[in-house]
Amino acid sequence: MTGQVEQQQSRALVVESNGLNVIADADRKGRPAQLFWPWFGANVSVLGLSYGAFALGFGISFWQAVIAGLIGVVFSFLLCGLIALAGKRGSAPTMVLSRAAFGVRGNKLPSLVSWLLTVGWETVLTILATLATATVFERLGWGGGTLTKVIALVVVGALTVACGVLGFDLIMRAQTVITVVTGVLTVVYIVLVADRIHWSTVSALPSGSAQAMIGALVFLMTGFGLGWVNAAADYSRYLPRRASSRGVVGWTTFGGSVAPVVLLIFGLLLAGSSEELSKAISADPIGALAAALPTWFLVPFVIVAVLGLVGGAVLDIYSSGLALLSLGLPVPRYVAAFIDGVVMIGGTIYVVFYGGEFLAQFQGFLITLGVPIAAWCGIMLADIAARRRDYAEDDLYDSRGRYGDVRALPVITMVVATGIGWGLVTNTLASWLQWQGYLLGAFGLGGKGGAWAYANLGVLAALVIGFGAQWFGGRTSVRRQETA
pLDDT tens for residues 114-128? 999 999 889 988 988
- Asked whether 138 and 119 are in contact (CB, 8 A), the reply is no
Tens digit of each residue's pLDDT (9 = 90 or more) over 205-232: 999 999 999 999 999 999 899 989 999 9
| Amino acid in position 86 | A
Burial class (CB in 10 A: 0-12, 13-18, 19+), 71: middle
Mean predicted lDDT score pLDDT of the chain: 89
pLDDT digits (tens, 9 = 90+) for 59-102: 999 999 999 999 999 999 999 999 999 999 999 999 999 999 99
The rounded distance, in Å, linking the Cα atoms of 426 and 422 is: 8
Decide if 15 is inside a domain: no
Whether 440 maps to a domain, the answer reads yes
Q: For the chain, what is the largest distance between any 2 Cα atoms, rounded to a whole number of angstroms?
A: 69
Domain membership of residue 26 (yes or no) is no
Q: What range does the domain containing 70 cover?
A: 31-483
Question: Does residue 20 fall inside a structural domain?
Answer: no
Query: Which SS3 state, helix, strand or coil, does residue 451 take?
Result: coil
Share of the chain above pLDDT 70, in %: 96
Average pLDDT score over residue span 338-354: 91
Dihedral angle over CA of 74, 75, 78, 83, nearest 10:
-140
Q: Domain tally for the chain?
A: 1
* Selected residue with higher pLDDT from 64 and 483: 64
* 100-114: pLDDT as tens digits: 999 999 999 999 999
Say if residue 137's pLDDT is above 90.
Answer: no
Q: pLDDT at residue 376 above 90?
A: yes
Quote the pLDDT of residue 104.
96
21: in domain: no
More confident of the two residues 360 and 375 = 375
The CATH number linked to 82 is: 1.10.4160.10
Residue 98: strand, helix, or coil: coil
- Is 18 inside a domain boundary? no
* Predicted local confidence at residue 356, as pLDDT: 61
What is the separation of C-alpha 252 from the centre of its chain, rounded to a whole number of angstroms?
Answer: 13
Tell me whether residue 407 is in a domain.
yes
At 6 the pLDDT is 43
Share of the chain above pLDDT 90, in %: 56
Is residue 6, in this structure, part of any structural domain at all?
A: no
Q: What is the pLDDT of residue 133?
A: 84
